Amino acid sequence: MQNLLHNLNEEQLAAVTLPAQSALILAGAGSGKTRVLTTRIAWLIQTGQVSPSGILAVTFTNKAAKEMLTRLSAMLPINTRGMWIGTFHGLCNRLLRTHHRDAALPQTFQILDSQDQLSAIKRLIKAHNVDDEKFPPKEVMYFINGAKDQGLRADKIEPYNADERKKVELYELYDAQCQREGVVDFAELLLRSYELLSRNQPLREHYQQRFRHILVDEFQDTNDLQYKWLKLLAGVPGNSGSALFAVGDDDQSIYAFRGANVGNMSAFEREFQVKNLIKLEQNYRSHGHILDAANVLIANNSKRLGKNLRTDAGHGEPVRIYEASSDLAEAQWIVEETKSLVADGASRSEVAVLYRSNAQSRVIEHALFSAGIPYHVYGGLRYFQRAEVKHAIAYLQLMDNPHNDSAFLRVVNFPTRGIGLRSIEALQMVAEQQRISLYAAVPHVAGKAGSTLAGFVRLIEGARFETQQMALPELVRVVLEHSGLLTHYQTEKEGADRIENLEQMVSAATQFVSEEGYGQGAPAHLGPAAQAQSGAAVVNQDGIEILDADAPLPAVMSPLSAFLSHASLEAGDNQATVGQDAVQMMTVHSAKGLEFNNVFITGLEEGLFPHESSSREHDGVEEERRLMYVAITRARQRLYMCFAQTRMLHGQTRYNMKSRFFDELPEESLKWLSPKVQSHWSGQTKSAWDAAPLVGSDNAIAQKIAQKAPGNGWRVGESVQHGKFGEGVIVYIEGSGASARAQINFGNVGMKVLDLSIAKLERLGR
């Protein structure tokens, strides 16, 4: 026991050894929350308070779930494969697989990743002759997922206008289409699981009695439905309900755009009558100046539970601030600083460049490339999202569930086998008329179209027959060969990389079989029914088919079904992964959960960070401030912040004001790298080159515009003060005399067009 607890600080020890009651752990950035969660589980098991099968632990990324399982295996001599530790989507998938009949799902239901879901919605819109300009597929997808995240089916939504009424109708049609094809999207996994537990009292009570301890990571990122799902499983607080151990940081809640509700933390504290609230404030990541900047900044948010990070690592180096004349100059400065860091012995992979918007990366990429500095941009396609891999997955999906229309359409004529658009349209018409899948409709299509389509069906059926006794890796290899994919890409000029990616699928299948506990020679098609005969599943006294207490996930699914679910869930994971020895580039949202020795936060300008949309959204600026807090706390040793006077975005030059967040940072923790001279930034310090003419192609054009514009003495780029709107920058001037007008960016209140002969403007910095 002492070995288990000896590395914990006082706060961590208190959290780990709490009694079996619901608790809220406020875990600051870098405070060791994964250690606390994992050690809590190990302590509960080692002290005999719960068996491994009585634990339910929920994380937000597959990476975090795997890390917890790895640490547990190192702490205790137990088999972790049967433990319910995973993401919300992964655990709901497991629950639905076990009770697919009660959930009204086929045994081989498949999961649509976001790309496949969008394709399915496009198909639906086309089939029902809906105008895709008036109802863009992505917009319809967001509407459907948003409704599901709130726990709403189509018949529970009250549309407020004709457009929303149409979206509700499409939602209903989409649900019917998915049910017919035997597929579910990510949001459906949670909603279907919640509905199953809500209406099935014996099943709900079974899991409430089984999971006496529920632990949740990143609780601040839960949406409304996820919190409801947790409450269902936890039971009635104070009435022999499960102990819900929630770990989170309200200061790092940055996913409101995905439906996350930071208010769930306060609701949990109130509804579960939480007596145990522990703050983990000891930071093991960052130096003092970095933490001071984070603490002082986030203190400006009014709606927070409150904590203050501290460290024993000393103050370290101050936060470096740099103001550039343009985005080009900003990028060049990042390059020079990176060269200096590498020359001093820093690894390139320990240098991260963070930005608020993906659009900012282009200029920085160009500068790094020109300087010969390797870089890795997070945001590219994951392995299971690549086109050639998705083609192979589609063939595997048809072998597991031939009624998946999305998979069918992806590969029915890929590689080309003479099945044209007219044949597909004829097939879709039959399927729609008879309310059956495309695969099932093939025998009903006459003529040449029917013959060619039947040839594709024979290909799939032949592969299913030939591989029925094969292990998963061998099955994957056969499908790659018989589908024609390998041959097809051999004829492509740049097909070598695609072939390598396809062949990597065999390795992925081998690794999956090993990690998930399938016997190396177990047939890939062996499903739950066959495994149930060997005692993996039992029926309890209420007549509910359940898993044995220690049965691992393979008891629920065939190896092929499990591998396909794994591929879909991996494709939907949103956390960045650090690449090769190269400078790491990513948005701040993607950087959450990561840490680097050296971090650049770029583009700190009003309208960019905080984003211009935040001023129009409820609590939008507070969310942007939390995002800034996350960015700051990614840095261990050195933190750089930079901004530019002008920036080319979306084909237009923007004249910018520095972010308001600079005014919320402690001056004693900052170091301005530029020589201090007076500037037009209301007395703020600026670099010496600001007194010189603007340079660079974008700025030269801006100068010419300013020189030609007869704006009553005013010039583009000048900073001004307005009695009502405050400080702003002139971005455009037109007209002269009494008709002269200026477009001015006022930062906090956005763009305004003012008559220069009437507006009472005051020049700044003169």
Cβ neighbourhood burial of 293 (10 Å; 0-12, 13-18, 19+): buried
Tens of pLDDT along 354-370?
999 888 888 999 899 88
Candidates 11, 113, 218, 350; catalytic one? 218
Would you state the structure tokens that stand for residue 344, as one six-digit string?
């001093």
Q: How many residues does the chain have?
A: 766
In the annotation, is 80 catalytic?
no
Residue 697 vs residue 99, higher pLDDT: 99
Question: Residue 686: is its pLDDT beyond 80?
Answer: no
- Cα 252 to Cα 351: distance, rounded to the nearest angstrom: 22
Q: What is the mean pLDDT of residues 416-439?
A: 91
Residue 766 has pLDDT above 50, yes or no: no
Query: What pLDDT is attached to residue 10?
Result: 94
* Residues forming beta bridges with residue 213, ordered by sequence position: 55, 243
CA atoms of 729 and 702, how far apart (whole Å): 13
3-state SS class at 563 = helix
For this structure, is 33 an active site residue?
yes
For residue 708, indicate whether it is catalytic.
no
Q: How many CB atoms lie within 10 A of CB 217?
A: 25
Answer for the pair 728, 747: CB distance below 8 angstroms, yes or no: yes
What long-range pairs does 240-243 form, CB within 8 A, spacing at least 24? 241/208, 242/208, 242/211, 242/212, 242/213, 242/214, 243/20, 243/21, 243/22, 243/23, 243/212, 243/213, 243/214
> Residues 634, 636, 658, 660: which is the catalytic one?
634
Choose between 665 and 703: higher pLDDT.
665
Check residue 143 and give its pLDDT. Answer: 96
| Confidence band, pLDDT 50/70/90 cuts, at residue 61 | confident
- Contact between 638 and 587 under an 8 Å Cβ cutoff? The reply is no
Do 156 and 199 meet the contact criterion of CB atoms below 8 Å apart? no
Q: Would residue 704 show up in a list of annotated catalytic residues for this protein?
A: no
CA distance linking residue 406 with residue 118, whole number of Å: 10
Q: For residue range 204-234, what is the model confidence (pLDDT) as tens digits?
A: 999 999 999 999 999 999 999 999 999 999 9
- What is the rounded end-to-end Cα distance, in angstroms, of the chain? 69
Among residues 116, 181, 188, 217, the one annotated as catalytic is 217
Q: What is the mean pLDDT of residues 326-351?
A: 94
Distance CA 461, CA 477 (A): 16
Q: Are 389 and 563 in contact (CB under 8 A)?
A: no
What are the backbone dihedrals phi and psi of residue 4, each rounded to the nearest 5 degrees, phi first?
A: -70, -35
Catalytic residue from among 252, 531, 584, 645: 252
Q: Which residue has the higher pLDDT, 108 or 174?
A: 174
pLDDT, mean over the chain? 85
Q: Which residue among 12, 33, 592, 727 is the active-site one?
A: 33
Residue 549 in contact with residue 51, Cβ under 8 Å?
Answer: yes
Is it the case that residue 709 has pLDDT exceeding 70?
A: no
Reported as type and span, the H/E element at residue 600 is strand 596-601
Residue 244 contacts residue 611 (beta carbons within 8 Å)? no
Catalytic residue among 34, 46, 80, 743: 34
User: Tokens standing for 278?
Assistant: 């522990």
Tell me the mean pLDDT in the region 600-623.
88
pTM over 0.85: no
Residue type, 700: A
